[in-house]
Chains A and B, each alone.
Chain A
Amino acid sequence: MPVTQLSQQRKFAQRRYVLSGIVVVVAAIYLLKIFFMQVVSDKYKILSDSNVRRVVTIYPARGLILDRKGRKLVANEEAYDLMVIPRQVQNLDTAELCRLLDIDRKTFEARMKKAKDFSRYKASPFVEQIDKETYGFLQEKMYKFQGFYVQNRTLRKYPFPVAAHTLGYVGEVNPGEIAADPYYKMGDYIGKSGLEKFYETQLRGVKGEKIVLVDVFNREKGSFENGKYDKPQKPGLDLETSIDLDLQLLGEKLMQNKRGSIVALEPATGEILAIVSSPAYDPNLLVGRVRGANFNKLSRDPLKPLFNRAIQATYSPGSTFKLINALVGLQTSAITRDSRFSCQGKGSVPIACSHSHYSPLELIGAIEQSCNPYFWGVFRTTLQKTSEGDIHKGYNIWRNHVMSLGFGQAFESDIPNQAKGNIPSSNYYDRYFGPKGWNSLTIRSLSIGQGEILVTPLQLANQAAVIANRGYYFPPHVVRKINGVPTKWPRKQSSIDPRHFETIIEGMYEVFQGASGTARWYRLENIEACGKTGTVQNPHGKDHSLFIAFAPAQKPTIAIAVVVENAGFGATWAVPIASLMMEQYLTGEVKRTELLEKMSNANLL
């Protein structure tokens, strides 16, 4: 080899340092970049987490609501919500998704925007309550819709369309409810009224959480860390109500095409056996996607089907309140069962009697005949005796006795949104007439259950129960067992001695069993019942027909109040309806089918 070539070779050999320098520089740049990505920056770790972990909420099945014999009043149905995590949405075939969901592009974009406004990283419902078929189609194609997944839910289902008002309904939480209780997340359901609202915490159970790993094809690949971070769900508790489905069904049938309500109680416990408000609606209308539209429709209905008359409508109690006045009179020793007050029939002053009868009557006869002047006498005498010169004192004593029987207040029970009714305070009359401007005469209409007094059908039923119990009651309630554990309610003792109840019960007995009793046409076969009719003048139309009753007379197992609005004389409508209800409950069937048909077919709207 020539020398020049050798020296040149040596010179070129130095180039290995250039070459290895290039290698080292490239490797160093790469390692710097990798160091930045892996150690310095958080960006990729965050992206990685949202890539693969999906927190799926496990919604427990909401507790069932059963009748007193274990029959389902409220059941559950599988439903599916399509959820979206906006940031994970990519390569979306919008047209196909819209086609599958049967929505248009505009709806799609609006919902996507709503989801993005809520959170780009968190799941929110995109389409709620997908039906089973759509769910089936969707499930097959989920791999195409990255960022979407299906969330299992349960929807309410009502096998029998009854007691809608009392059962209540479930709806999506609103921002206020989310703010009030952090348990709720957007898209969750919450009880909005009735039992669903009152027993929300028991019925809802506890939501669970499952962290699943999801691959790029939107397929779930099992649990994360063997479920170490999962939160188990707890199913909702079942409610056993005291409602007797057969009785409830009958009540709804009897009240169809009428305005009014029926409340039936078991006197010994305060359990509600049936609670009907008419016009009613099918609770299935307020389930799922159709709820909003149906709710609007129902709320615009002039018949006000959403209005729960049984607990929210207030009426003057009319003649049924005469029993209360009698009890207070007896308790204050203002009268005895033998007290007599004369009646001049229609010419009586200051209150006329609605019909003519033998006069003067003693208490039992007066109850049977519902004599207005008699109870004006009772009221006047009571206030005279207790006032000792100060009408305020006497009136307050009278009012406290009345309220101890459950009037003028909402019962502390599981029925939300009860109206209080009204037993006016003496302050009210002071404001109205001036402190010295009123006496028993001024407020005489209270003696016959008219005037300022307002009661709800629930309070009327409770009145029947207190009398049936001879002096005490349990707050009327609907749920008697939660997952098999009995609910407890405080016993309320009235301020009236039991013996006084015996006296007025004799009068109520005559209403059914007496030869001239107003309810004698609707006696029960082999069962003695007690009752009291009421007819309440109504400035807006025909009188309201009221009736309270209980049976059997000696050991009552059902107490009932029936109000039929604008139906005229109490005995014509409220009495037969109450009678049929008691027959159903006490005998398990209705033998008077003709009467049943007549009553249920009548249209008083």
Chain B
Amino acid sequence: MGLFDRHAGLLEAYRDVRTTGADPFQIRMERVLSPTEAIINGRKTLLVGTNNYFGLTFDPSCMEAAIEAIRAEGTGTTGSRIANGSYSEHVLLEEEIAAFYGKKHCMVFTTGYQANLGVISTLVGQGDHLLIDADSHASIYDACKMTQAEVVRFKHNDPSSLESRLRRLGDKSGNRLVILEGIYSMLGDSAPLREFVDVCKKYGAYVLVDEAHSLGALGETGRGLCESAGVLDDCHFIVGTFSKTLGAIGGYCVSNDPDFDILRVTVRSYMFTASLPPSIVASVRQALRVVQARPELRKQLWDNVATLYDGLAAQGFKLGPEHGPVVGVHLPDRMLAIGFWRAMLDAGIYVNVAVPPATPNGVSLLRCSVCAAHTPEQLQHMIEVMTGIGRQLGVLSGAPKLRVVAGSR
């Protein structure tokens, strides 16, 4: 048996995708012009699939901070946090994130993926119980493979499904850790966090919330779903990323647990990889200041979400269940999703395409992510283009239907 034989099914599916034209998984951004535009295939393309919720990748103050840091401290740390890779700025960044959340401790990781992978797999071990939402991100699933704890999935966003699983554990020994996400990355829906927290309290379970897509977007001061649901104090661990709203790369975990720092010498994805370069630390510190100083970015983001979501819904597109910075457009099957995606790209608009097995319930999606920097005109244009393609491909029936729109911020 050859090394690649086990991937035969996937290879075949992938070949199918490629024979029909451009490969959605090998798109090249020839030149990025701004948070909302890039040159792709030689032409200017509108970007509506970059997780760049506040558009901070080109924020002049963040860029300047990064450039200055490179001049002062060089391009990289060439070492891990437990060796030569802890600079004063890493520690300052950790203090600033902890202060932002009003928590005592913070650890910064080189990516959000590594934060989830390392923290989750280390917090629970043999004899413990890890309970995860069925639609959890890959980094959470991968953490499950690295722990000796017993892992059980509960139904997506369903507190009663979590409750029955906690109840079944009865008086078995071992800690219970429940993993939730602020906003789910495929359909843009958020967890009924308060209800989840109530269940967790009832059964004495610890709660970890991944705010990857909700940092900046949710909460009065942008701290995410934990803040908007009013349960910051009840969430024992909050994980997040610098790679979306903060426009850079990296991850973090905050907590009030007095022994939290022991993770610095136990979490392998923290210990055995190089730390973030000075330029990233500097731009993230500045981006966090921008998030706090410019709440209008949050309002712009949600105004844009409403424009895109309501506009697409009014045309009859089937969308995720509620307004969110991620707008997932349901399409009937994989080939149609890829065909639609490609037609969009030909029309000068880039979105993400998400197909099984990367999606929940085997759905095929065009995954759009909204940016505060999108103009209403850009989004109107996108709605028009999508509607035209949707009609051509038979996804939309001829006459536009008005539809009641669910959800709000």
Pair from one complex: no
Q: Chain B: residues with CB nearer than 8 A to chain A? A: none
Q: Chain A: residues with CB nearer than 8 A to chain B? A: none
